[in-house]
Amino acid sequence: MSELQVNRSTFDQVMVPNYAPQAVIPVRGEGSRLWDQEGNEYIDFAGGIAVNALGHCHPILVEVLKAQTDKLWHLSNVYTNEPALRLASKLTEKTFAERVFFCNSGAEANEAAFKMVRKYAYDNFGAHKHRIISFSQSFHGRTLFTVSVGGQPKYREGFEPVPGGIDHVPYNDLAALEAAMDDSVCAVVMEPILGEGGVIPADAEFARGVRELCDRHNALLVFDEIQTGVGRTGELFAYQGLGVTPDVLTSAKALGGGFPIGAMLTTAKAAESLGFGTHGSTYGGNPLACAVAEAVVDLIDTPDVLAGVGHRHQLFVEQLEAINSKHNIFTDIRGSGLLIGAELTEAWHGKGAQFLAAAREEGLMLLVAGPKVLRMTPSLIIDEADILEGMAKLERAIAKVLAEG
Ligand SMILES: *Cc1c(COP(=O)(O)O)cnc(C)c1O
């Protein structure tokens, strides 16, 4: 087979234009480094948007995936399989959850969660109890239900009519939530840290208050940990650090370390409402995905890796502060573990893309979160040398953007 030659301009000819990828095409990755078609090297602070939690091509993940490819790729849920049962056993052992539903992405995990909380309220309290409350600026995925629960109207625009019975209140505002709550609410959905919405952590007191309001009104609490989960904050899941236990937790992104998988975790009681035939996914619980995810969880859920996230957080923050003391470009540096946001000064709001492009030209992959925040979600085991080299590149990129005005 001869290989078809493709480059970045091929994208514009053959792909739906819903993305605007950077000008280069990476072809190979190892740890926190990547190389493009031209052989240019990059330091990766993006981590595939909080997905490559163990870097690129981690040797153990490669080995596990290769071993599974020789055994079994797919069955469908007409059969169960060993990797799925092992992964679910570990996730239930390590969390509050007693039951797991597997799917292929974050949006699908949330879709399952949102359907389940509606069905649970319907089964236990009646059809009137169907309202879902979530937060302004939250992000829960791109399906019609998840953009509806998400708190960013721009993602719903033009796709109406969207599912109803959903209200949004400001994040970290307990009084607003209290005013919106009543016994018609079936669930409150929240990210422990708003990820796409600008890397905004929940106050611990707010999170406790949300839990109390849910209890008072017999509503389930859903934590969307698709971005914060699987070690990102230095705990296996962020709820463990907040000291607030949800009834439902969704995971994806880092769970597969780069192999697509999503999971919804919940209690045995809530799970009863997704009885036989109520929901499903052909690929969900795929043996390849579950084998990789089991290894991801094994590798990340160790005292070493989790403590290392805290040390790396310190280094990121110190380095960003040093850049800021020279260039005065950030008004805030925040986040938890290796989910870090640096808010740009007002003159640069809406111009994050310039920093991303300049960083890429310097050989650094970076992200934004909304119009005014640079976001970093690197590998949880990124080398200190890579952090320092990446920060030197970031400083050069920032100096360049500032010089160009
Ligand atoms: C990325 C993300 C999603 C959506 O996940 P997909 O895999 O893109 O569907 C949902 N919620 C949060 C908090 C996310 O960060």
Q: Tell me which of 102, 147, 253, 367 to substitute to probe ligand 1's pocket, judged by most ligand atoms within 8 Å of the beta carbon.
A: 253
Residue 398 falls inside a structural domain = yes
Residue 235 shares a structural domain with residue 315 = no
User: Which single residue is written with the structure tokens 């422990």?
Assistant: 192
Q: What total number of domains does the chain contain?
A: 2
Tell me: is residue 193 an annotated ligand-binding position: no
- 100: nearest Cα among 224, 270, 243: 270
pLDDT at 198 over 70: yes
Cβ(191) – ligand 1 distance below 6 Å? yes
Q: Is the pTM of this model over 0.85?
A: yes
The end-to-end CA distance of the chain, in Å, is 49
Residue 395 falls inside a structural domain = yes
Give me the CATH number covering residue 159: 3.40.640.10
Q: How many H-runs (helices) and E-runs (strands) does the chain carry?
A: 14, 17
Residue 38 falls inside a structural domain = yes
**Last residue of some domain: 263, 285, 300?**
300
Per the CB < 8 A criterion, the answer to whether 305 and 314 are in contact is no
Residue 63 falls inside a structural domain = no
Confidence tier at 75 by pLDDT (50, 70, 90) = very high
Residue 97 falls inside a structural domain = yes
Tell me: is residue 226 an annotated ligand-binding position: yes
Task: Please provide the average confidence, as pLDDT, over all residues in the chain.
Answer: 97
Structure-token pair, residue 395: 């400083």
Give me the CATH number covering residue 346: 3.90.1150.10
Q: Given this model, what pLDDT does residue 263 score? A: 99
Structure-token pair, residue 372: 């005014």
Residue 155 shares a structural domain with residue 291 = yes
Residue 235 shares a structural domain with residue 200 = yes
Could you report the per-residue pLDDT of 365-398, keeping only the tens digit for each? 999 999 999 999 999 999 999 999 999 999 999 9
Mean pLDDT of 174-184: 98
Residue 352 shares a structural domain with residue 287 = no
Cβ(226) – ligand 1 distance below 6 Å? yes
Mean pLDDT of 127-145: 98
What is the spatial distance between Cα 357 and Cα 10, in angstroms, rounded to a whole number? Answer: 20
Q: Given this model, what pLDDT does residue 405 score? A: 79
Residue 3 falls inside a structural domain = no
User: Which single residue is written with the structure tokens 């929940």?
Assistant: 202
Q: Given this model, what pLDDT does residue 159 score? A: 97
Residue type (1 letter), 35? W
Cβ(174) – ligand 1 distance below 6 Å? no
Per the CB < 8 A criterion, the answer to whether 373 and 27 are in contact is no
Query: Up-side HSE of residue 184: CA atoms within 13 Å toward CB?
Result: 7
Residue 13 falls inside a structural domain = yes
What is the spatial distance between Cα 226 and Cα 107, in angstroms, rounded to a whole number? Answer: 9
> Which residues span the domain enclosing 393?
8-58+303-404
**Last residue of some domain: 269, 300, 331?**
300
Residue 67 falls inside a structural domain = no
pLDDT at 27 over 70: yes
For the chain, the C-alpha Rg in angstroms (whole number) is 21
Distances (CA, A) of 144 to 59, 157, 162, 395: 37, 11, 6, 39
What is the spatial distance between Cα 255 and Cα 50, in angstroms, rounded to a whole number? Answer: 10
Residue type (1 letter), 43? I
Mean pLDDT of 41-64: 98
Residue 140 shares a structural domain with residue 222 = yes
**Last residue of some domain: 285, 300, 315?**
300
Q: Given this model, what pLDDT does residue 33 score? A: 98
Q: Given this model, what pLDDT does residue 1 score? A: 67
Residue 267 shares a structural domain with residue 193 = yes
Q: Given this model, what pLDDT does residue 191 score? A: 98
Q: Tell me which of 196, 232, 338, 375 to substitute to probe ligand 1's pocket, judged by most ligand atoms within 8 Å of the beta carbon.
A: 196
36: phi then psi, degrees, rounded to nearest 5: -95, 180
Mean pLDDT of 160-170: 97
Which residues are known to be catalytic?
139, 224, 253
User: Which single residue is written with the structure tokens 């239900």?
Assistant: 145
Residue 135 shares a structural domain with residue 281 = yes
Could you report the per-residue pLDDT of 261-293, keeping only the tens digit for each? 999 999 999 999 999 999 999 999 999 999 999
